[in-house]
Amino acid sequence: MGIRFIGTLANRLITALLNFLIVVITARYLGTAGRGEISLIILSISMIQMISGVMGGGAIVYLAPRYPQFKIMMISIGWTMLICIACSTIMNLFGLIKPGFGFPILILSLLVSFFANMQSLLLARQNFSAFNLTSVLQPLTLLVVFYFSVKRDSIHTIDDFIDAAYIGYALPLGLTLFLLNPAPAAEATWKEVAKKFIHHGGWSQLANLAQLLNYRFSYYLIEKMQGVTSLGIFSTGISVSESVWVFSKSLSTVKYANSANEKDRDKLHQQAILLIKFSITGTLFLLCILCFIPDTLYMELFSKSFKGIQHLMIHLSPGIFMLSIYTILAAYFSGTGRHHLSSKASMIGLVVTIPACFFLIPVFGITGAVWAGNLSHLANGSFLLVHFMRETKKSLSSMLPHKKDLAKFKELMQGN
């Protein structure tokens, strides 16, 4: 686990840096309105991917060690194509996709979904080196292609980003297919594999879709109530804050794969508690850095139109802290086949998000959207935490970091 975590953490750090550079360059060349349009495109693609992930994504991580790889991938590919075409068409008809973006969103949703599914298969095989390589290649390719595109042309539009995204997902997808190796698994019928997909993927993706709406539902209201420029500032602040998740996401990625393959429940409990402690510690450290960066530096990076990013960072901090706990617990419950708990947690958060957004955004603008998110993260994180404490019979104080945990963490890293 030690080498896996170090490799995954390095991957997350590099990926976070590359994504941050993408935010910086798109902000400088496309402005606040361009950043707002990008956030809506990404949101549409993400929603489609979540639905297509019912027979992909996290379900593949759980099913791949247990069922034939060929049948898993054929079912996943067929479902992905059907859902991407159907969802992009429906979203276009109902005006959820801006005119002219329907076809690009369809193609990108296919590329993103296929890439996520192939990466899930790498993760299921615990091929972390290939997983990390392709994870870094995706934003690197998008960044390089977009940079040379805007440097070549004097007029910059959202099409520059879309074209870069095509290549940015197609290239690493091809490499992922090359790196995949077939692995032996128990025989199963097509019907049995499909049923397992629906059972595990349905709960898992319901959780992910609800969690996505927890994160992004406010985007639609901000765009309608405050305008695309305000959405550009808000989404840029969110993108900056997501760099803080690098530590907890690295821990949760390894924890998910480890939980799916580990049979000793007591060992998993101990690991989860230890990882929660280090997730909290790492998140707090990174939050302090982002909150103390002056607004003038953020405006220097993105442009003067992006005023108020530091203000957003400070208000986003409570929610990000709660997410550092939620991320580990969601990985633990999903990795042990209990996707329904993550789904319920996300649904609870969504029940909080929707009314909070309608009440707070008209009054407090993008700051209100931040606090709607904070309340949601508090609700769903608390739900999983209570379930975990009941299961392990541990108190809240046992989750708090101590100096002695460092030795245990080193032992965990060296012992696996």
pLDDT recorded at residue 104:
94
Cα–Cα nearest to 310, from 326, 287, 330? 287
Sign of the alpha-carbon torsion through 396, 398, 399, 401: positive
Tell me the Cα Rg of the chain: 21
pLDDT, residue 345, reads 86
pLDDT value of residue 3: 57
Q: What pLDDT sits at residue 94?
A: 82
Q: How would you class 53 by CB atoms within 10 Å of its CB: exposed for 0-12, middle for 13-18, buried for 19 or more?
A: buried
Q: Is the dihedral of CA 127, 129, 134, 139 positive or negative?
A: positive
pLDDT digits (tens, 9 = 90+) for 38-92: 999 998 998 888 888 777 766 777 777 777 777 888 888 898 999 999 999 998 8
- As given in the structure block, the two tokens for residue 160 are 């520059």
Residues 6+ apart with CB under 8 A from 217: 350, 353, 354, 357
Half-sphere exposure of 264 (CA within 13 A, CB side): 6
Predicted confidence at residue 355, as pLDDT, reads 94
Query: What residue numbers bound the domain in which 386 lies?
Result: 2-415
The beta strand positions in 218-270, using DSSP E, are: none
Predicted confidence at residue 126, as pLDDT, reads: 73
Q: What is the dihedral of CA 185, 187, 189, 194, to 10 degrees?
A: -20
pLDDT of residue 260: 47
**Could you give the 3-state DSSP secondary structure of residue 241?**
helix
The alpha carbon dihedral of 368, 373, 378, 380 has a sign of positive
Residues lower than pLDDT 50 in the chain:
260, 416
| Number of folded domains that form the chain | 1
